[in-house]
Amino acid sequence: MDGNDERLDVIRSFTVNSFRLDPDSWRELVLQDENRVIFKGFFSSQDFRNLFIYRDSESGLSVSLHFPKNVQTKVICVSKTSRDAFSTGSVRERFMIQEVQGDSAMTSLVSVCEEVTCPLLSNQESSGAAGEVEEPQRIMERKKNETLVMKAQIEGWTFLPHQHGNTVHDHNLHDNSKGWKSSDLKLSQACDWTITEWLNLVSEFLQQDSSEAVLDKVKPLPSEEFNFWRSRVKNLQSLQQQLQSSRAQQVASIVQQTGNISWFTLRDVYRRVEEGLQEAEQVSLALSPLQEKLEQLEQVEYQQLGSNMAAVMEGVHQVLIRSEVYRRPGRLMVLLIEICNLFIQKSRDFLRGEAVMHGLVSETGRVLDDVRLVIWTLKTIKEANLEIQNQGGVQIPAQDGITHCWNSSSHLSFIHLDILLTRLQSIQELLCVTLQLSQLDQVLVSGVRGRMWTDEVQNVYQDFLCHVRVLSEYTCDPTDPGDKSFELLLDQFQAQVSDQERRLVSVLSRSFAECCVSSSAAQLLQIFGFLLDRPLVQDELLPQLGRLVKLVLMELDQTKLLFYTEREKSETLIRSKSSTAARLCWTRQLQLRAEEAMNSYKTVQHLCAGSAEGQLVDQRFQELADLLQVFRDQVSTERISQLDLDCGFILDQPLIQHTVQGMLGVSCSQQLRAALRELRYASRETDLMLHPHAARLFTCRDDITQSYLKLSDMVSCYNQVLSDALQVELPLIQDQLEELKQHLSELQRNTWRSGGLQLLVEQQTERVLIFHSTVSEARANMDAMTHIIQGWAELHLLQRSGDSLLVGGATEQSCRGLREEGQQLLRLTQSSSGALLAISLQLQETGSVFEPSVGVGLPDLLKSIINDIYAAASLPPGLSVNRHGNYQVSLQQRPALCELEQEVMSHLVQVRKEAEHLRAKLDRYSYLWESDRRGVMEDFLTYGRQLEADELEAEVTPPTLKDFRREIESLQTLSTEVAHLDDVITLLGWLQVNLQPFRESLLSVINVWKHMYTGYLLDSLTDSVQQVSQRGNDDEESSSSSFCLTESVVLLEAAGVQLPEHLAAQIQC
């Protein structure tokens, strides 16, 4: 609407004259956007009967569809004479324009008429003759009614006026039931007029419909629907109050007493108002939950709207169930249109049209995500409605007891939504094209003429950017479906994009023709992959795709030919593996080669779907794959059979064995490595089924590999010690070698099938590594000591001249060097020899004893060592002139050495005390070898425990399974404690006590004790099972044993007792 609209002429003329305005002021009023909407709504909508123009102290001249509040000046009221919408043209006869005062003036005028003027004129004593005041009274009454009607229209409710008549106010006439004369004709006519006017006003009000705004294409929101019914309730309540007022009751009483036919009309008015009020209250109550839900959605983030659409549509359908009004034709469609208008408005506010166009050159991805979100959100409205329809629609109970099914399948309900979705999908396509073609900036074509093709692509990209910048400068809102200029601009842009796509197809086709292998052609298509979904690109490029298909077919045929020509000599390809593994590896390479060709074809497979060429490629590839699979299955069968034989042979071999040269070696070392390698290859084949021996070796391949590596290291260290040992060293390490051989013999008795293999290998390997480390360290120390002594031999500390000794070579520096080297020699000697003396603690029948004895044998041994040291002093000749004598006697007579000898012997006494203290400490286990096991067992079986020494008698209590568990667990704890005793303990730094013999003997004793209890349980279990078998009953209670069979088995297994095979079989049965 503009300022030249003919419908505004009469309003403009009256307003300019009334307010004495200049034409510019009126033009400014009309050209404002808000005012244009108000004028358009007034002319186009049937809901608005009045238009108010007034002066505002802040904004100047204003216009409103509602009477302004707090306005003290005059207001121009433009009222329609009918509710019809006015099209363009002259509407002078359809308007009633008048000047009214503001709120305070209108109220004051009504109050004066009701409280002053009308009562004075109606008082015959103060006003004189009736004829003199009848006309003024009628005029004032009419003016008061007009004022009240205007006030009611301003406040949004309907006023029921009363026709003037003196008789209406004369109560005496009502009391006289027989005095009606011809003079009462005016009273009857006044009542007829009043009732007729009421009927017209009520009928006109009840005919108001909220769908008028939809029909006028104003796009109302749900809030207008809710406000319509809320104001309708208030207006009907006001009409009901007016009809129940005293004056209305007077009119009803008159027409009823006179028998006027208007009495039936008045009763119809009563009925229609009452029914209308009930209907309006019912609708308001039904709309209340939906209104609350929509008000909540107006406060949430847009991203959360889609998940709430189902609840909104459910609310709409609940309105149908609760309200009969919305079951009428078209009523639900109006409500759905208003709801769609609400979400359309929120969607457009979320997108912000100017941000959409700016997104073409900045943050295109984010804007595209927002557009997709809006499209998804709007589609969820229709999907939610469709989902309810698919569930059977809405079940509506009717008055006849029959349940009717309703659905809202009319497309008119979502017509505005569909129009916006169409526009948004066009915008989405625009943004997608922009994103796709923006990738041209990163395109780099390889090949002989790749630089030329890349430059041409960049030229296309620069042209595209120019078109995008032009489109981004569009200033109108692209989300407004009513703006047709955007569609014209979009069509122009799409034509430009089509031209650029043709240029790109030309570049792609020419570079595609230069590809000689399928991988390079597929790589080129992947570079331009973002364009392959464009319909125009597909149509133009489809003839060129046949070249890629031909290349793929050629490579598949070459692979098949290579398979036939090289099948018999495939083992020559990989010489480091067996022929079987080589064949499998070769077939895998051919499979990968064929799959690579197929991967190249898959880049365009979706474009060639259903074509003859595409079916031929699939057929050729499947034939080749089946051919390779058959060959692979044949080779695998042979390979698995041979591998199982090899694994079975390896599993039965001992872990280590002696070689011909007397050294140690890992049994079947080469075969084991080859088998493990084959199993590693087999693990890569997902379709291979291993035979039992190979499967067992494969299951524990990690443990066997670790054990093999440790055994190889152990064997290498052991052989190194033997091969490097000198003749003089062999007696020194002979005892340790014999001990190692005893331990290693256990490895020779066990095979790769044995249980606990990893722990056994680890223990024996540790022993050998310690022995190797000790011998290596001793050899290193010996080499260092030899080097020092050789250096001393080369020193010339004394010189001889004839029979005389001359001092010449000894200096302070050489003496200091001798002292330092002597200290180093002493440290090397101590680290090599460790403890000076070594004994062992053993468990014999008499108890624990030391070998040799610390009481007799040890002092003699130490005395002999001291004598050997003195005897060594007799070996070097003396330095005297005659060279007679030696140094032994002089050393034995030196007081310092005598004192040192006494100190050594005193240390021996201390060491003896420490040794006896150690033996006494270990004698805490003496009850294990001293106790009478048979007596202890008899006490246990009688009393359930061992009697104390001071107990002579006790209550006979046979042991329970709990008592057996207590004793067995106690022995197991004791066994663990003894097993953790140190192998060697050094006392005072020079007496080494070997505890291994004592520990092993004590562990054997503990095992005998534990076997005493477990053997009794095993015998009892055997007897019970035999009894059950003889009776042919599975019930455990049938046995005479007091022990539960299941718990007995569990206890024995926990104690490490393996049930005999026949007994285990009987228990399982």
What is the per-residue pLDDT across 679-706, written as a single tens digit (0 to 9) for each? Answer: 887 777 666 678 888 888 888 888 888 9
Kindly list the distances between the CA atom of residue 408 and the CA atoms of 308, 336, 384, in Å, as whole numbers in the listed order. 19, 9, 11
Give the contacts of 465 (CB within 8 A, at least 6 positions apart). Answer: none
What local confidence, expressed as pLDDT, does residue 624 receive?
87
How confident is residue 153, by pLDDT bands cut at 50, 70 and 90?
A: low
Look at residues 973, 955, 957 and name the one whose alpha carbon lies nearest to residue 1009: 973
What number is the average pLDDT over the span 979-1006?
88
> Of 154-163, 274-283, 718-727, which range is least confident?
154-163
Q: Which pLDDT score, from 0 to 100, does residue 651 have?
A: 87
Mean pLDDT for the stretch of residues 532-553: 72
Q: What is the pLDDT of residue 169?
A: 43
Q: Is it the case that residue 373 has pLDDT exceeding 90?
A: yes
Residue keyed to tokens 């208003």: 338
- The yes-or-no verdict on residue 124 having pLDDT over 70 is no
pLDDT tens digit string along 799-813?
555 555 555 566 778
Rounded to whole angstroms, how far apart are CA atoms 310 and 313?
5
Burial class (CB in 10 A: 0-12, 13-18, 19+), 381: buried
pLDDT of res. 400: 47
The structure tokens listed for 559 are 């692979």
Neighbours of 214 (CB within 10 A): 22
pLDDT band at 11 (very low <50, low <70, confident <90, very high): confident
Instruction: Tally Cβ neighbours within 10 Å of residue 939.
Output: 16
Whether the predicted pLDDT of 577 surpasses 60: no
Q: How far out from the chain centre does Cα 340 lie?
A: 35
- In whole angstroms, what is the distance from residue 983 CA to residue 993 CA? 9
Of residues 602 and 233, the one with the higher pLDDT is 233
pLDDT band at 977 (very low <50, low <70, confident <90, very high): very high
User: Given pLDDT bands bounded at 50, 70 and 90, which one contains residue 107?
Assistant: low
Among residues 447, 407, 266, the alpha carbon closest in space to that of 327 is found at 407
Q: How far apart are CA 287 and CA 281, in angstroms?
A: 10
Amino acid at 622: Q
Q: What is the mean pLDDT of residues 477-481?
A: 86
Sign of torsion, CA 127 131 133 137?
Answer: positive
- Tell me the chain's radius of gyration from C-alpha atoms: 58
Cα dihedral sign, 855-856-859-865: negative
CA distances from 44 to 11, 47, 342 (A): 16, 9, 21
What percent of the chain lies above the pLDDT cut of 90? 4
Contact (CB, 8 A) for 746 and 760: yes
- CB 473: neighbour CB atoms within 10 A? 10
Identify the pLDDT of residue 155: 58
Q: How far is 811 from 798, CA to CA, in rounded Å?
A: 11
pLDDT, mean of residues 581-599: 80
pLDDT at 86: 66
pLDDT over 80 at 97, yes or no: yes
Q: Which range (251-265, 433-447, 720-734) has the least confidence? A: 433-447
Question: What is the distance between the alpha carbons of residues 614 and 602, in angstroms, rounded to a whole number?
Answer: 10
Query: Which residue pairs, CB below 8 angstroms and at least 24 apart, start in 376-380?
Result: 376/306, 377/302, 377/305, 377/306, 377/309, 377/343, 377/347, 378/343, 378/344, 378/347, 378/417, 378/420, 378/421, 378/424, 379/421, 380/306, 380/309, 380/310
User: Over 50: is that where the pLDDT of 128 sits?
Assistant: no
The β-bridge relationship of strands 991-994 and 837-844 is parallel
For 326, counting Cβ atoms within 10 Å of its Cβ (0-12 exposed, 13-18 middle, 19+ buried), the class is buried
pLDDT of residue 573: 46
Q: What is the pLDDT of residue 143?
A: 59
| Cβ atoms within 10 Å of 357's Cβ, excluding its own | 21
| Between 202 and 880, residue with greater pLDDT | 202
Q: Which of the four pLDDT bands, split at 50, 70 and 90, describes residue 1036?
A: very low
* pLDDT value at residue 576: 41
Query: Using one digit for the tens of pLDDT, what is the confidence trace for 288-332?
Result: 888 888 888 888 888 888 888 888 888 888 888 888 887 877 788
Q: Is the pLDDT of residue 554 over 50?
A: yes
Q: Which is nearest to 667 in space by CA: 747, 746, 758?
A: 747
pLDDT of residue 973: 92
Residue located via tokens 């306005």: 71
Cα distance between residue 314 and residue 298, in whole Å:
17
Q: Given this model, what pLDDT does residue 974 score?
A: 92
Distance CA 1036, CA 1051 (A): 16
Within 10 angstroms of residue 50's Cβ, the number of other Cβ atoms is 18
Mean pLDDT on 908-929? 89
- Mean pLDDT for all residues in the chain: 78
Which of 126-135, 242-251, 978-987, 1011-1020 shows the lowest per-residue confidence on average (mean pLDDT)? 126-135
Q: How far apart are CA 608 and CA 548, in angstroms?
A: 11
CA distance 568 to 584: 12
> Helix count (H) and strand count (E) of the chain?
39, 14
Instruction: Give long-range contacts, CB 8 A cutoff, 24+ apart: 997-1005.
Output: 997/840, 997/841, 997/842, 997/843, 998/840, 998/841, 998/842, 998/843, 998/848, 998/922, 1001/842, 1001/843, 1002/843, 1002/925, 1002/928, 1002/929, 1002/978, 1003/975, 1003/978, 1003/979, 1005/843, 1005/928, 1005/929
Rounded mean pLDDT, 891-920: 87
